[in-house]
Amino acid sequence: MQTTKTILMFSVFSGTFYPLPENDIEVVNVGHLPLDKAPKNSCNKCYGRGYTTRDTQNLTYNPCACVLKNLNLKLLKKIEDKRSKLS
């Protein structure tokens, strides 16, 4: 049985973290952020939830600074490049 590498993702629409197989990265929609690692529970702003507030007008969760610090920028650029080619 072959195991695939997973990437930790954060959804700004649901405020949750979820694993995504690396080969499915092309199907990620807007609002899903790839992370290098999960935020620490010792964060004084989000306590490990990943978001600080919820925007009730846009129905999104505002990511904490610790999530933004742990963004996987290489994967985010790869996702954006694929999106720009599609449009």
Residue with tokens 């969760």: 61
Task: Indicate if the pLDDT at residue 1 is higher than 60.
Answer: no
**Selection from 81, 51, 44 nearest residue 68 by Cα:** 51
Name the token pair of 27.
């199907």
State the Rg of the chain over Cα. Answer: 14
pLDDT band at 28 (very low <50, low <70, confident <90, very high): confident
Tens digits of residue pLDDT in 4-25: 889 999 999 999 999 999 888 8
Q: For 29-79, write each residue's pLDDT tens digit.
A: 888 999 999 999 999 999 999 999 999 999 999 999 999 999 999 998 988
Q: Which of 77, 49, 78 is nearest to 62 (CA)?
A: 49
Ranges of each domain in the chain: 6-81
Q: Residue 57, Cβ neighbours under 10 Å: how many?
A: 5
Q: Which residue has the tokens 């996987």?
A: 72
